[in-house]
Amino acid sequence: MKKGVLVSLILIIVSIFLISFISAQSPTNAGPTNNIVRGLGNVIDSLVKIGTPIISPLIGEVPESQIFFAKLLFFVIIVSVVWITLDRMEFFNTYTFVVWFLSIVIGILGVRFFDAETIQAIMLPYNVLGVAIAAGLPFVIYFVIMEFMIHTPTPRKIGWIFFAVIFIGLYATRIDELQGMALWIYPATIIASLAMLVFDGTIQKILRNAKRERQDFSGKQKYENELLIQLDNLDKLLVAGRIDAGVHNIQKKQIERRIAKLYKASI
């Protein structure tokens, strides 16, 4: 029931963005749905202005709301990259809290280091390729973190909601700046994020099955190597005269049958 409600909500959101995009292609760039998105952008602008005194000490100067969301996205990228790096270090990966703490601190410092103009140039391009890279690269990095390194469903779902909210904010505050195919990219990223949210269980099941298959293959290879070593040892024992030819042949056939079964199971 909960999943059905969530799917229905996502379908409504997707419909709004699709209708908004179609409206944006019209000569007047107008329409009721487009006006809803613009209205959402106005609400976001007001909220960001109210929150600026609180936000600025953390992430630096925020002259307009789209810079706020661009900085949030940049923060996500930095935190994700640092998290992946630290998690691979044995010194840090035993202390998850330390990894998260350092990642967040470095993320905040990284966002504060760049001024609004630099953030705008990096994260808020206007051409199709630039917008695609600015949206696609963070999505891929975020996917790796959420689906491969976060092992409980609730944090993953919260993470994907947060990611979708960032792009909803970017789309609502940039709808009048982007033209043509560039307008598709933010809604597409929002839809993809919400799809990750809905199909989280299915994605995790696929990843678990793939991991199990890799482990099974690795185990089979290890077992096959052990059988080949046993064959080699049998030959050495026969040459050394420690077993007779009859025993050697019987044991050799048994080992070869086991290897043949392994090959059949792999087909």
pLDDT digits (tens, 9 = 90+) for 118-137: 888 888 888 888 889 989 99
- Cα(96)–Cα(142) distance, integer angstroms: 18
Please state which of the ranges 22-31, 178-187, 208-217, 228-237 shows the lowest mean pLDDT. 22-31
pTM for this prediction? 0.68
pLDDT of 10 reads: 55
| Per-residue pLDDT band at 1 (split at 50, 70, 90) | very low
Query: Which is more confidently placed, 112 or 258?
Result: 112
pLDDT of 127 reads: 86
What is the SS3 assignment for the chain? CHHHHHHHHHHHHHHHHHHHHHHHCCCCCCCHHHHHHHHHHHHHHHHHHHHHHHHHHHHCCCCCHHHHHHHHHHHHHHHHHHHHHHHCCHHHHCCHHHHHHHHHHHHHHHHHHCCHHHHHHHHCCCCHHHHHHHHHHHHHHHHHHHHHHCCCHHHHHHHHHHHHHHHHHHHHHHCCCCCCCHHHHHHHHHHHHHHHHHCHHHHHHHHHHHHHHHHHHHHHHHHHHHHHHHHHHHHHHHHCCCCCHHHHHHHHHHHHHHHHHHHHHHC
Q: Is residue 26's pLDDT more than 50? A: no
Q: At what angle do helices 96-113 and 32-59 cross, to 10 degrees?
A: 100
